[in-house]
Chains A and B, each alone.
Chain A
Amino acid sequence: MPILSKEEAQAILKKVLSYSKADECEVSLNGSEGGNIRYALNAVSTAGDISTMGLAVTSVYGKKAGTATIDEFDDAALERVVRRSEELAQLAPPNPEYMPILGPQTFAESITYNANTAAITPESRAEMVAKSLSVTKEAKLTAAGFLENSSGFSSIMNSKGLFAYNKGSDVTFSVTTRNEEGTASGYAARGFTDVSKLDTFSATKVAAGKATGSVGAKAIEPGKYTVILEPVAATYMLENMFRFDARSAEEGRSFLSKKGGGTRLGEQLVDEKVTIYSDPFNTELPSATWGGDGLPREKTMWIDKGVLKNLSYSRYWADKKGVKPLPGPTNIIMEGGDATIEDMIKSTEKGILVSRLWYIRMVDPQSLLLTGLTRDGLFYIENGKIKFPIKNFRFNESPVIMLNNVEALGKTERSISVESYRSYLIPPMKIKEFTFTSLSDAV
């Protein structure tokens, strides 16, 4: 039974701590169960069902820490793992950045667990895939997709009385639809806490529409264009800048470092239309209310009307700098606007609608310059209308420059990064002067 209740987890953790003889001791207990199904060429290719549970004990003497783990839970095994972590701690080199464990904290109950998602079976995964395939068979397209669900719990308790517990669920789905000739491709991705919100049929319809609309793509010259990024494209691009870390900024090696020393905290970093924050209680994208550092997670503003409002401080760095620790983002919510994608197209004299980006990598961490490509639906806009599909581009652009060039924002929606599969709440956005540097023949 990999998903323990709060009381069950608490009982095991208490027992483990009762064996401890170290200066400090922290125990974590985690478990998860879930599965996945993958399909390609309109048939299931692989599928799996995985469940695991494990316990880790960290014992500390002074600044020397040792961790040992186990996946057996009888009394003898639990005592053995504590002794082993104590032996390891005695042998470990001291870590000057080690921070003493925290005493009891108050954590609000999270809303991350969903019973519908926890109840997914191999059969229900296969049924959701069958619904997706019904769309592509009808449309004479070839589908490749992936559906993955997981539910789990995590808990920690320490010798100063801190206890925290969380249960969470998540399901993600993505599908690529291609025509038989290999000349057109479309994509859709969805992520939810509650699987009942996942409609694989309608998501596949969106992907199929992108594919059929992409036939006959023409090449246009690379250069600077106004772009409308759909949420799945914007999410992947922006994911690379959601590290608001004080330490690297103060050390002078971050895009948030300032010329001459210091950081850009309090400065107008991006356009005033941009507001980005974290909130564990957002119902569309809930997160845990505590982190591994033992600190509560609370609503935190990162960028308010374009101004950099906060940088995250680890407990060590906060202590060194004499400030309050501030945990990094637990989730990311970017506020949107009123414009629909149709409105943004209508207001565009000359531009490009971007469905998805691909293979984004850092080129220069100083300017946060990223390179990557468009993929699965790229359309040329002229005089307020989509004129024709176009061939893919490589871009070289910084998300910081991009958010300085925001012309309009649409309604925020939950979207997943196509690389990390993390979920974010990000609006579609219209950006001027986005830099495309070469053409790609890829479809």
Chain B
Amino acid sequence: MRRRDFIYLSGLGASAMLLPDLKAFGKTVDVQQLLDGGIDVKAKKELADVALNMAKSKGASYADIRIGRYLNQFVITRENKVLNVANTESFGVGIRVIVNGCWGFAAGNVVTKDGVAKTAERAVAVAKANAKVGGAPVQLAPQKGYGEVSWKTPIEKNAFEVPIKDKVDLLLNANSIAMQGGANFVNSNLFAVNEQKYFASTDGSYIDQDVHRIYPAFNVTKIDSSQGSFETRRSLSSPVGMGYEYLTPLDNEKVTGVTTRYKKRYDMIEDIKAAAQQAGDKIKAKSVDPGKYDMVLDPSHLWLTIHESVGHPTELDRVLGYEANFAGTSFLTLDKWKSGNFNFGSKQVNIMADKTQVGSLGAVGYDDEGVKCKKWDLIKDGILVNYQAIRDQAHIIGLKESQGCCYSQSWQDVQFQRMPNVSLQPGKTPLSVDDMIKNVEKGIYIIGDGSFSIDQQRYNFQFGGQLFYEIKDGKIVGMLNDVAYQANTREFWNSCAQVCDEKDYRLGGAFNDGKGQPSQSSAVSHGSSTALFKGVNVINTKRKIG
């Protein structure tokens, strides 16, 4: 049974009721504890050596250990109430081994020399049991040991050092502005994450990393009870790989236009004021006429389309069939890549994988199997040129080393291939959003992400959004509602006619991309400038019940 089912079936603590998956993040702790440094690097190295030596002595040809301390803080409010302030900590070790050519993994939260040695023994026992089932032996790409190294997210202000009161004040102030602006309900939250990860392997790496992420968000609801209808408008913030500085607004990080959007600094107060107005506007907006439209897609929306239709199908484990039972496989099969001329999109489409981008969710120094991070092309001038791979897959696409895409959500889950930041590169010729819209005769401009769904091989998708504006003869003429577009991935990217220049480039992203069995979450960013897609099929999503 999965953790959440256990909670569902057997009940959970009253405070956790407000946050059903709280236990997935570990145990709750007090604020001061989050600022403790945890155990020191010297002690971690000693523990790591005990585990690695035990694994080797029991027959492992390779072993790695992750000693992880995962900290989360949640501040959850609605209207004028603080519903929950939770601090969670999860601390333990995960040990992965290869024995008789087969992987084994075990995890536990007894972080003593005796505890990690026993966990290493369990990992070896799991590998031996699995090896009896048979299959091709694991082939690891060579990886030199880095010795003792460290990396830290470049933050200006550690979110865990900011008093809870400041966070509560910010959210309650935002809520009150929404209510004054005519909202019926408002929820706002602030999530902060700190992963303190220590990795060591039998290759001779001892890597200490301190990773920070933050996500402020709100949802404003406006109700028209006479019509029995309601609309919401979510924040246009992004989760980012930054500290609390993300919440200090800066004018030069704002993108003005039909509504203000944000680059590396977010103005929650300004955004929620607009949201309260726009939630009401959505109730009155014209219901869309279905048909073909030219779509102008803002980076706050397009990141999710990139994620689903480019990020996932270029994951090599999906291509190979390792995710067939859950997330699915991929239409970007190896023969298409080998041909060297598979036309994924138009010439405007250049998409890169990048684990080094500053401020992004995926940026780390080294991945969770000790490979230094890098960036590379996935789609070059519209052609499929590469995938995302880890050490035991690199040989399949002729690579001599891993691309550093290995990640685990915690010490207690096994690491596997996860998506790096995957981003559409800005257009090379100068082009603003206003100039792009001027040339659109019949179009829809979408800001913010909404509903999303895509098939298991990533052909057919459907996306909604937060704000929809009708474009007629080069001008925005009003707001639309009930909009979703459906397309085939390859046709969609081949309909990409223009991408705005780098001045419009922004990151969007997800804190909780799910994949694997048992399902694991990972955080990933996707950048782009506003892009134009011609002749996309739009449906009307309004239905009546009762």
Residues of A participating in the B interface, judged by any CB pair closer than 8 Å: 26, 28, 32, 34-52, 54, 56, 58, 65-71, 84-85, 87-88, 91-93, 95-97, 99, 101, 112, 121-123, 125-126, 129-130, 133, 142, 144-146, 148-150, 152-154, 156, 164, 166, 168-172, 174-176, 178, 182, 185, 187, 251-253, 255, 257-261, 264, 267, 269, 287-288, 290-294, 314, 330-331, 358-364, 366-369, 371-373, 375, 392, 394, 396, 398, 400-401, 418, 420-423, 437-443
Contact = CB atoms under 8 A, between A and B. Distances in A.
B546 A400 contact: yes
Q: Determine the main DSSP class of A at the interface with B.
A: strand
B129 interface: yes
Contact of A47 (B9, B85, B126): B126
Interface string B135-157: 11000000000000000000000
B428 interface: no
Given A44-B135, A441-B460, A422 B8 contact: yes
Nearest to B165: A93
B539 A437 contact: yes
Residue from the set B11, B136, B321 with the largest chain A CB neighbour count within 10 Å: B11
Contact of B30 (A50, A88, A287): A88
Contact of B456 (A330, A359, A398): A359
Given A150-B1, A358-B455, A440-B460, A46 B105 contact: yes
B307 interface: no
Contacts of B322: 40-41, 45, 144
Residue from the set B324, B460, B462 with the largest chain A CB neighbour count within 10 Å: B324
Interface residues of B, number: 104
Contacts of A171: 1
Contacts of A363: 451, 462, 464, 484, 541
B42 interface: no
B13 A56 contact: yes
B107 A401 contact: no
Q: Determine the main DSSP class of B at the interface with A.
A: mixed
Interface string B200-225: 00000000000000000000010101
B9 A437 contact: no
A292 B460 contact: no
A260 B226 contact: yes
B27 interface: yes
B12 A442 contact: no
Contacts of A42: 135
A35 B132 CA distance: 17
Contacts of A369: 541, 543
A37 B163 CA distance: 43
Contacts of B527: none
Given A168-B6, A269-B546, A293 B17 contact: yes
A46 B455 CA distance: 25
A46 B414 CA distance: 8
Nearest to A422: B5
B185 interface: yes
Interface string B28-53: 11110100000000000000000000
B15 A156 contact: no
A33 B36 CA distance: 29
Nearest to B107: A50
B10 A41 contact: no
A148 B5 CA distance: 12
B453 A359 contact: yes
B429 interface: no
B244 to A, nearest CB: 19
B256 interface: no
Sorted nearest first, the 6 A-B pairs with minimum C-beta distance are A43-B135, A259-B228, A170-B1, A69-B27, A440-B460, A144-B324
A40 B325 contact: yes
Contacts of A32: 3, 6
Nearest to B136: A43
Contact of A44 (B102, B123, B329, B542): B102
Nearest to B543: A367
B62 interface: no
B82 interface: yes
A369 to B, nearest CB: 5
B109 interface: yes
B170 to A, nearest CB: 13
Contacts of A290: 11
A130 B129 CA distance: 11
A168 B9 contact: yes
A122 B125 contact: yes
Given A293-B11, A439-B460, 5 more contacts: A46-B414, A85-B30, A153-B10, A175-B325, A371-B484
21 contacts: A26-B14, A41-B135, A41-B320, A43-B133, A47-B103, A52-B109, A66-B30, A87-B30, A126-B129, A133-B133, A146-B517, A148-B1, A169-B1, A252-B223, A253-B230, A358-B455, A364-B482, A367-B545, A369-B543, A375-B456, A394-B462
Interface string B82-117: 111110010010000000001111111100000000
A187 B324 CA distance: 10
Given A168-B1, A253-B223, A441-B331, A49 B453 contact: no
A159 to B, nearest CB: 13
Contacts of B125: 49, 122
Interface in B325-359: 325-326, 328-329, 331, 333
B105 A359 contact: no
Contacts of B460: 373, 392, 394, 438-442
B366 to A, nearest CB: 21
